[in-house]
């Protein structure tokens, strides 16, 4: 259901919508919401329904992180000590926030790269909450020795100011292309959570090349989310 096709359009609150769905006997609510914290709010206030966060504002996207971790592990094995580079619009990316915590938790070295204006304070050297996370604005330096490079979408719909001089400048400095992947480890892999602005964040030939795991991410996302729904439903039925 979408807000425009529900009672939300008539003024119903998120809580009332959740309580109504709970009263209908649903087992699980999967929610994607423009406001950070909305899934947590529902989970706190609903007693008989499991809540899965499918992306909230610029805060988190846990299921995307799970499928990204699974995809990376299926190709690289143990992620401890691996160098993972995440490049692009980190500031507006809920995907990046979840991925950073996930990769770092599994022992990977995470390097964030992109315009300084698109880097949140939490991931700058002065306020970095994770010892394994660093910031390197020069992508050519960031990708050296990388095992995997993940490009992020430029979220123009959330950008309301001049975060970088021009799209041409962004492509020149932060596009993931063949030349830059040549600086990474031999056989380094490419990921992108999608949707992708092909030719902007990633060069076209690289996006469809042998190093790209982009389509595998989509395929793995189906299995990972099926497993999550199964796990949540099973726990609800057993009372755990």
Return the number of other C-beta atoms located less than 10 Å from residue 139's C-beta: 23
Q: Domain for residue 230, yes or no?
A: no
For residues 88 and 111, state if they share a domain. Answer: yes
pTM beyond 0.75, yes or no:
yes
Mean pLDDT score of the chain:
89
71-85, 90-104, 146-160: the lowest-pLDDT one = 146-160
DSSP secondary structure letters along the chain = --GGGSGGGGT--HHHHHHHHHHTT-SEEEEEESSTTHHHHHHHH-SS-EEEEEEETTTB-HHHHHHHHHHHHHHH---TT-EEEEES--TT-HHHHHHHHHHHHTT-EEEEES-GGGS-GGGSGGG-S-TTEEE-S-HHHHTTT-SEEEE----GGG--S-SSS-HHHHHHHH-B-HHHHTTS-TT-EEE--S---BTTTB-HHHHTSTTB-HHHHHHHHHHHHHHHHHHHHHHHHHT-
For residues 77 and 50, state if they share a domain. Answer: no
Q: Domain for residue 229, yes or no?
A: no
Domain hosting residue 99, numbered range: 62-218
Q: Domain for residue 115, yes or no?
A: yes
More confident residue, 84 or 91: 84
Note the pLDDT of residue 165.
63
Q: Please tell me the distance from the alpha carbon of residue 13 to that of residue 45, in angstroms, as a whole number.
A: 13
Q: Domain for residue 138, yes or no?
A: yes
Q: Domain for residue 199, yes or no?
A: yes
CATH of the domain at 11: 3.40.50.1370
Indicate the number of domains in the chain: 2
On the question of pLDDT at 135 being above 70, the answer is yes
For residues 73 and 51, state if they share a domain. Answer: no
């Amino acid at each position: 259901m979408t807000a425009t096709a529900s009672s939300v359009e008539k003024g119903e609150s998120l809580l009332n919508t959740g309580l109504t769905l709970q009263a209908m006997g649903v087992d699980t609510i999967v929610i994607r919401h423009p406001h950070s914290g909305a899934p947590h709010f529902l989970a706190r206030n609903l007693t008989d329904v499991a809540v899965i966060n499918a992306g909230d504002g610029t805060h988190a996207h846990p299921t995307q992180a799970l499928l990204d971790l699974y995809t990376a592990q299926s190709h690289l094995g143990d992620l401890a000590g691996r160098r993972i580079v995440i490049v692009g619009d980190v500031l507006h990316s809920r995907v990046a926030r979840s991925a950073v915590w996930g990769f770092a938790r599994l022992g990977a070295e995470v390097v964030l790269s992109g315009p300084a204006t698109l880097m949140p304070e939490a991931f700058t050297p002065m306020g970095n909450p994770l010892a394994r996370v660093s910031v390197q604005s020069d992508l050519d330096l960031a990708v050296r020795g990388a095992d995997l490079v993940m490009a992020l979408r430029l979220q123009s719909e959330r950008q309301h100011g001049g975060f970088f001089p021009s799209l041409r400048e962004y492509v020149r400095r932060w596009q993931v292309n063949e030349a830059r992947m040549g600086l990474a480890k031999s056989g380094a892999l490419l990921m992108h959570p999608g949707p992708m602005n092909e030719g902007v964040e990633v060069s076209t030939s690289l996006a469809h090349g042998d190093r790209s795991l982009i389509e595998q991410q989509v395929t793995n996302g189906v299995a990972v989310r099926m497993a999550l729904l199964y796990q949540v439903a099973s726990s609800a039925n057993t009372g755990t």
